[in-house]
Structure 1
Amino acid sequence: MAGANGETAYPSQYETEVLLKDGSRMRLRPIKRDDVERWLTFVSRLSDRTKYLRFHYVPRLGREDAIRYCNVDYRDAFAFVAEVLRQRREEIIAIGRYYRLPNKTTAEVAFVIEDPYQGKGIGTKLMEWLTNVARDNGITTFEASVLAENEEMMTVFRDYGFHIISHLEEGEYQVSFPIARTGRVVQKEEERERVSTLASLGSVLSPHSVAVIGASRQKGTIGQLIFECIMESGFSGVVYPVNPNAEAVRSVKAYASVLDVPGDVDLALVVVPARLVAGVVDECGRKKIPSVIVISDGFRECGNEGAAREAELRYIALGHGMRLVGPNCMGVINTDPAVSMNASFSPYYPKHGNIAFLSQSGAMGLAVLDYVSNIDMGISSFLSVGNRADISSNDLLQYWEQDPATKVILLYLESFGNPRRFARIARRVSASKPIVAVKSGTTAAGSRAAASHTGALATSEVASEALFRQAGIIKVDTMAGLFDVASLLSAQAVPRGRRVAILTNGGGPGVLTADACENSGLVLPQFSQETMSKMASLIKRISSFNNPLDVTAGATQEEFSGVLKVLAKDEDFDAVIVITIPPTTVPAAVMENAIKQAAPTFKRSEKPLLACLMGRESARRKLATDHITIPCYDFPEDAVSALAKAAKYGEWLRLPKGTVPRIKGIRRQVAQKIIDSALTRTVERPLWLAAGEIEELLDCYGIRVAKAATAETPDQAVAASRKIGFPVVVKLASATISHKSDVGGVALDIRSEKEVRAAFKDIKARLAKIGRQGEMAGVIVQRMVKGGVETIVGVTQDPLFGPLIMFGLGGIYAELLKDVAVRLHPLTNLGAKELINSIRMARMFRGFRGAPVSDTEALEDLLLRLSALVEDIPQIAELDLNPVKVMPQGEGYWVVDARVLVR
């Protein structure tokens, strides 16, 4: 894309931030033509050895070289620079570039890194982003000439994940490798990302020394509260109060500036007025502090002026390579006895446990810490991310994934920063540790206006639901529900299925629990003869053993415990819920002891046991024995809800994850030319493709469209009907009217030329009657497709989530019934099958009430081809295939109507 002066426009979309293997951050950006002076300064700092390894001799580089190297077209020649901040000035410390070889899809690649920054992984990050750009520009292979003694560069190539071909020739390795992003490449990139994230968050959650900048002696101030909380928590490291107006804070020597603090500082907590934060953080950078937590408010949450402050804060922290928590946050907590740090202003310091918690809201975080302390729940670590100027849930998920102290991860989310990255990370983490999330803001009144059915139905809230479902995240609607699920999964095994046994000493609560189970999708099998015989030998006064089982209020401890142990070993059940009523003839402690006695048997059987001690509020979530905790709930519905969500998570764990298939026979380049040609015919954006363009585009991806032709006159319509063959459908052709049937724009089952002419005239007359005749571009004459189930298949580009693929009941019922499901792109082969089966009316495809079984395999193929189309053609903003008629098994499908909006 060229600018106004004919020069190639600067590709700002490739500006990025990366994490290095030592945990520091760095900015990468495309080189600019005005980088000449910075380039000259950069090469002047390179040692002769570094120059030799890069250029294979020690050159004298001057201004002409700088101009040549800084002028690239961003397509055939591209360069990234890595920058740091020195004295508030940006300085280049590394460059990676490629040059496309003449008339080839191969490019030569080279890197040079300033001496003090070598060995940090900068070359690997430059490689990652150069290959991303090269692939976008049609380059498939990189080549390089590397001196035999340059082992560091060869290591970058060999360890990246590409298939390297190299041979030694006159002291130089000639290296070549395809840059396709294979599964191995993705795996290696993710491994490096995890290592970098763990390294970067170590100084946030496990620092050895902390400076509190703004520590105060004045009671009631945030600076005073934070310093006091750190001291009271028994922090294992060193704490430095920084206050220019105090000699000491809580009898600890204070320093006027963080630069005056002796020795190294791992973490700085900044509690100063917003206008002073940037200067303080710059001092932290000069002090080489790896991480800062900005508690102060007055940033993006306060409007444009605050947003400008936050942008400056981000710029400074990134320039110094620091990790940044906040601003506008309440801090972090790590209860690990080896750290024992409450670096927040919460007076509630929870006990050590195996639950990690992240909150985007400081106020909610404060309330949660109060709540978990009240119910005696243990926390491994807590972090309030505030405005998320840097560190977000994506970072913390990767940290907690590798944290042996964390078993369950809880999230309170208000919005997503990068949902596509969040989905990728969460899907991986959920496979080993459950993630339970509450997301607020789900009922926003102002949904964006959409031009298509798909855009109207696939809202951002629907996208959030799809993200959680695909990533295996357990979504709850309330904070109480969040901790109900956490209590279960932090203490018990994930249920293997939905089969539940209910044991109670009171009939009513058992029935209530059974109703809740049925309403939540849990099932209550009856006891086998063998199980009933075992229970009858334990409780001789009961003649009928049904599920739920009421052993009556007179049950002894031995009877209650014995029945529980029988159920723990019974393979017909996946979980057991036990409900006790307030004590009458038997003390409460008897029932509690019975549950405790049975707990080890449940642990050995890896079967979850949940207790509802009705009327025993003080016992909530506190029933424990021999390092085994039994989650306790106030009411049966709470226990059932938690169990149902855990069972659904267990099902997700057992599902095979599927793969994104490579579809053969796709004509990607032809499809791109169709889009490019359409975009050149007008400057109007967005642009609806013409019917002929849509048919050609879909044909490039093997998507079956019922034969059709556009006609501007009745005579043309008649000619088209002759060519297609009767019967036909005549329908309005219009770029602005999407609901054709609403304006009388569809005539079905047309069987003669006379009827074709009449249909054309009728459609035109109806539009004239409502004053919209100017929106008619003619008609579309299409082969009449009889039978089949009408469905809708579509795509919309969400500004946050990217492409969303929608499937549901179609035709005129699409928006009326709204029986649709949405998944994030890309679809896997199993994801396509699951998408079809997830709508309420999916049984229509299975031969409902004598109807033929539908060809869902062909429908799955359509969804996968559509996913490939969206991957290849990013200009598609919205796409509707409605209706898609799914024919009987073996007969495929037909796309009857299609609309495509491009930008």
Structure 2
Amino acid sequence: MNTYLIHLANKYMNENKRSLESLLKPRSVAVIGASRREGSLGNKIFNNLLESDFKGPVFPINPNADDISSVKAYPSIFDIPEPVDLAVIAVPAEFVLEAAEQCGLKGVKALVVISAGFAENGREGVNRQRDLASICRHHGMRLVGPNCMGVLNTDPNVSLNATFSHVFPPQGDIAMATQSGALGLVILEYARNLNIGLSTFVSVGNKADVSSNDLLEYWRDDPNTSVIMLYLESFGNPKKFARLARSISPSKPIVAVKSGRSPQGSKATASHTGALATADVAVDALFAQTGIIRVDSLEQLFDVSDFLSKQPLPRGNRVAILTNGGGPGALAADACSAAGLELTPLSDETLAGLKALLPVRASLANPIDITDVGASEYRGALSLLASDDNIDAVIVIFIPPVFACPEEVAVVIKDLAPEFRRRGKPMVASFMGQRGCVPGTTLPAGAAGVPSFAFPEAAVYVLARALDYGRQRQKQKGTIPEFPDIDRQKAKEIVDSAPDGWLQPVEVFSLLECYGIKALGIRSAANLEQATAAAQEIGYPVVLKIDSNTIVHKTEAGGIILDIGSPEELQTAYDGLMKRMSIAGFVTGVRGVTVQKMAGEGIELIAGVIHDAIFGQLTLFGLGGIYTELFKDSTVRIQPLTDVDANEMVHSIKAYKLLEGFRGSPPADIQAIEELLLRLSALVEDLPRIQELDLNPVRVFAAGKGYAVVDARILLAGNKQHANSVPESVAG
């Protein structure tokens, strides 16, 4: 990127930050639609601003009231004698455009439109939202919403609650964006009940202007924010989202819930937000490549974020469990094993200290069951675990017995938390029977706070996600390699000269050859004479396949004959193949046959690309062959791939154990497969007409022997009639 482009990018980011400060750090707020009527949105929002002790003037706008909550009211925004940074609009949808226009003429810098009745409500609402966004752009106003819950900032110098929720959460360093206003109410209540501190909260609603991308840019440089939480239903610009997340996640963790995993969920989110739901596999790929921590529920969203806000990242996977009950300790141990956490042996010094401290009936193995002892024994045991270099993290489990009370144990944990933090060793707790909370204490609160959970499995889950995130931060970014042997000119000629639809088999393999992707030799033949000549040129043994535009899976149709070793065998195979197709009724669409070199023994894999309407081109890799759809052992990444992406893809499938060498079989040529993925990535990056590409199977051989693409098909975008037809492929 040249200096001028860098200058423009920095200028845009600075302007975006300043414009969002009018939303999240306004010096004055007007509420259009403020009301005396209790229970109305305008009444709730105005009173919430007063009760949160906002550090600036608040102006109620209501032409039918002289004052609201003892504050002078104004008939319109024009009557306010002072400048207004932020206007919150809570009037019926049909009056919003007029109010927004007046705000623009007044010089208001930002709007929060609470009102519903926009893009979520059909064609009329879509047009109204388009006009609202146009008004804001014309006057240079930023817009949150419409159809949103509002914004909130707990900074004592701001103290802004411009939402219709009466809950003002504790001050903290976690920022939160949600696309669901209804969930926002629950989120704020949950944060307050668990004493989880937020820095800022934004309900983006229909995202007519301000989106998650804008907020990510703002929070990246916000000194009051160290963790970012997202509830997402859709993506507006996933490439920009990916770029931002990739730059932020190494320093500030981003934890996200994305709804719409199931087809039913996708349909629900699309109808709710007016946005196109995206394939969940693409979301997984996006998050994996950008370092975003994906969780499955709002509870996990808060659990993981709270941990990351208060505890250091584990340096490794070695865990010690301290419990006063054998059953919960065993459950925690099982959860650790499933999550890839290791119950490490304790050091000799720790074991000696525990033996001197605890009664004979205590179990000193890991999990450490200290049985029914008091808070002093917890203190001594935790002190020993804090100094044990064999341990990366500690899980404390407490079941209230007769001999110790939860409050005393909570005090011990709080007292020792700073020592654990000093040593860079996270500690989490599970106070069972207390719903994770300790009456009369603030166990999860404060800079040295220790997150506490109702059950040990939740504590293990949080540790495991934190460990994954820590490893992600240490991972190299990777590079996109250059391949000097690529013949881009010839590849472009092949694609430019081809009509829309599926490429012919010979064209497919010629295109792969241009990018150095190794495929078995293939020839097309219209009759037996041409097939015999092709086999002679390729060299026996060969494979004979029917060439048809009406048969998709040639194996199921009996359209493939393997291991043909001579001209005589080829003639017999050809005659039998044509007879079989005639009996089966497949004569229509048959153009002839293809002749291909017989592949050697190897593991069958699949590599391919599919175009997603939202995310663009997605690269897939996994176990291939005829069982691809049965086992579904595959992984996906968003284009373009780096060398790190390719390595992770190969290592992430379950079949990787086969590639390593399984039960005496030699290891496969993993390096060659990674290069194949990178060359495939270069191919689809250079040729945007490719709508779909499928290499299946790719047969990989022993280390140093490479691979061979056995079957391939490529679809060029454009003509819907071609795109919906049966692929002309050599697929088996």
> How many angstroms apart in 2 are the aligned matches of 1:482 and 1:698?
44
Match of 2:102 in 1: 283
Mark the CA change 1:405 to 1:794 in structure 2 (over 3 Å): closer, same or farther. same
Cα offset for 1:754? 2.8
Which deviations, in whole Å up to 9, do the C-alpha atoms of 1:232-274 show, x marking residues without a partner?
Answer: 1111011122222222222222222223322321111111221
Which deviations, in whole Å up to 9, do the C-alpha atoms of 1:443-497 show, x marking residues without a partner?
Answer: 015999xxxxxxxxxx811111111111111111111111111221111011112
Letter in 1 for 2:510: E
Mark the CA change 1:626 to 1:829 in structure 2 (over 3 Å): closer, same or farther. closer
> How many angstroms apart in 2 are the aligned matches of 1:898 and 1:568?
57
> How many angstroms apart in 1 are the aligned matches of 2:225 and 2:461?
23
Q: 1:490 aligns with which of 281, 297, 309?
A: 309
Match of 2:508 in 1: 694
Mark the CA change 1:777 to 1:282 in structure 2 (over 3 Å): closer, same or farther. farther
Is 1:623 aligned with 2:443?
A: yes
Is 1:217 aligned with 2:36?
A: yes
SS of structure 2 residue aligned to 1:673: helix
Match of 1:749 in 2: 563
Is 1:878 aligned with 2:692?
A: yes
Letter in 2 for 1:220: G
Is 1:347 aligned with 2:166?
A: yes
Quick check: 1:215–1:223 contact (8 Å CA) kept in 2?
yes
> How many angstroms apart in 1 are the aligned matches of 2:372 and 2:468?
33
Match of 1:119 in 2: none
TM alignment of 1:509-658, pairs within 5 A: 509-539=328-358, 541=360, 545-554=364-373, 556-617=374-435, 618-619=437-438, 622-623=442-443, 627-658=447-478
Quick check: 2:346–2:388 contact (8 Å CA) kept in 1?
no
Letter in 2 for 1:778: G
Cα offset for 1:652? 0.8
Letter in 1 for 2:470: G
Match of 2:319 in 1: 500
Q: 1:677 aligns with which of 459, 479, 497?
A: 497
> How many angstroms apart in 1 are the aligned matches of 2:546 and 2:40?
69
Deviates more, 1:600-609 or 1:563-572: 563-572
TM alignment of 1:776-791, pairs within 5 A: 776-791=590-605
TM alignment of 1:256-405, pairs within 5 A: 256-405=75-224
SS of structure 2 residue aligned to 1:303: helix
Match of 2:56 in 1: 237
Deviates more, 1:611-620 or 1:391-400: 611-620
Quick check: 1:886–1:894 contact (8 Å CA) kept in 2?
yes
Match of 2:608 in 1: 794
Mark the CA change 1:707 to 1:216 in structure 2 (over 3 Å): closer, same or farther. same
Quick check: 2:64–2:75 contact (8 Å CA) kept in 1?
yes
Q: 1:732 aligns with which of 534, 546, 549?
A: 546
Quick check: 1:214–1:241 contact (8 Å CA) kept in 2?
yes
Q: 1:857 aligns with which of 671, 677, 692?
A: 671
Which deviations, in whole Å up to 9, do the C-alpha atoms of 1:693-712 show, x marking residues without a partner?
Answer: 11221122111111110112
Cα offset for 1:764? 3.2
Match of 1:843 in 2: 657
Quick check: 1:509–1:636 contact (8 Å CA) kept in 2?
yes
Mark the CA change 1:765 to 1:346 in structure 2 (over 3 Å): closer, same or farther. farther
> How many angstroms apart in 2 are the aligned matches of 1:873 and 1:405?
44
SS of structure 1 residue aligned to 2:498: helix
Letter in 2 for 1:521: G
Q: 2:483 aligns with which of 663, 670, 678?
A: 663
Quick check: 1:764–1:776 contact (8 Å CA) kept in 2?
no
Which deviations, in whole Å up to 9, do the C-alpha atoms of 1:741-788 show, x marking residues without a partner?
Answer: 121111111112233233333333333334332132221100011111
Quick check: 1:846–1:853 contact (8 Å CA) kept in 2?
yes
Quick check: 2:640–2:685 contact (8 Å CA) kept in 1?
yes
Mark the CA change 1:615 to 1:540 in structure 2 (over 3 Å): closer, same or farther. closer
Q: 2:4 aligns with which of 157, 160, 170?
A: 160
Cα offset for 1:434? 1.3
Match of 2:271 in 1: none
SS of structure 2 residue aligned to 1:733: strand
TM alignment of 1:74-153, pairs within 5 A: none
Quick check: 2:114–2:148 contact (8 Å CA) kept in 1?
yes
> How many angstroms apart in 2 are the aligned matches of 1:804 and 1:863?
12
> How many angstroms apart in 2 are the aligned matches of 1:369 and 1:731?
63
Cα offset for 1:800? 0.7
> How many angstroms apart in 2 are the aligned matches of 1:500 and 1:190?
44
Mark the CA change 1:308 to 1:828 in structure 2 (over 3 Å): closer, same or farther. same
Cα offset for 1:722? 0.8
Mark the CA change 1:511 to 1:804 in structure 2 (over 3 Å): closer, same or farther. same
Letter in 1 for 2:342: V
Quick check: 1:568–1:607 contact (8 Å CA) kept in 2?
yes
Letter in 2 for 1:474: I
SS of structure 1 residue aligned to 2:552: coil
Match of 2:722 in 1: none
SS of structure 1 residue aligned to 2:394: strand
Letter in 1 for 2:122: G
> How many angstroms apart in 2 are the aligned matches of 1:205 and 1:446?
31
> How many angstroms apart in 1 are the aligned matches of 2:288 and 2:96?
40
Match of 2:641 in 1: 827
Quick check: 1:596–1:625 contact (8 Å CA) kept in 2?
no
Quick check: 2:321–2:367 contact (8 Å CA) kept in 1?
yes
> How many angstroms apart in 2 are the aligned matches of 1:615 and 1:862?
54
Query: RCO greater where, 1 or 2, for CA within 8 Å and sep 6 or more?
Result: 2
> How many angstroms apart in 1 are the aligned matches of 2:41 and 2:584?
66
Letter in 1 for 2:573: A
SS of structure 2 residue aligned to 1:637: helix
Deviates more, 1:817-826 or 1:847-856: 847-856
Give identity over the alignment, percent. 50
SS of structure 1 residue aligned to 2:555: helix
SS of structure 2 residue aligned to 1:373: helix
Which deviations, in whole Å up to 9, do the C-alpha atoms of 1:382-410 show, x marking residues without a partner?
Answer: 10000111111111112112111112111
SS of structure 1 residue aligned to 2:342: coil
Which deviations, in whole Å up to 9, do the C-alpha atoms of 1:474-531 show, x marking residues without a partner?
Answer: 1111111111112211110111122110001222211111111112221111112232
Quick check: 1:468–1:475 contact (8 Å CA) kept in 2?
yes
Is 1:814 aligned with 2:632?
A: no
Match of 1:197 in 2: 16
Cα offset for 1:439? 1.2
Cα offset for 1:814? 1.0
- Aligned CA RMSD, in angstroms, stands at 2.0
TM-score, structure 2 normalization: 0.93
TM-score, structure 1 normalization: 0.76
Is 1:423 aligned with 2:242?
A: yes
> How many angstroms apart in 2 are the aligned matches of 1:558 and 1:254?
61
> How many angstroms apart in 2 are the aligned matches of 1:720 and 1:194?
61
Deviates more, 1:473-482 or 1:190-199: 190-199
Letter in 1 for 2:70: S
Mark the CA change 1:284 to 1:726 in structure 2 (over 3 Å): closer, same or farther. same
> How many angstroms apart in 1 are the aligned matches of 2:302 and 2:265?
31
TM alignment of 1:403-482, pairs within 5 A: 403-445=222-264, 460-482=279-301
> How many angstroms apart in 2 are the aligned matches of 1:447 and 1:351?
33
Quick check: 1:622–1:630 contact (8 Å CA) kept in 2?
no
Unaligned runs of 5+ in 2: 268-277, 718-732
> How many angstroms apart in 2 are the aligned matches of 1:890 and 1:857?
9
Cα offset for 1:191? 4.1
> How many angstroms apart in 1 are the aligned matches of 2:609 and 2:186?
40
Quick check: 1:266–1:290 contact (8 Å CA) kept in 2?
yes
Deviates more, 1:404-413 or 1:202-211: 404-413
SS of structure 1 residue aligned to 2:174: strand
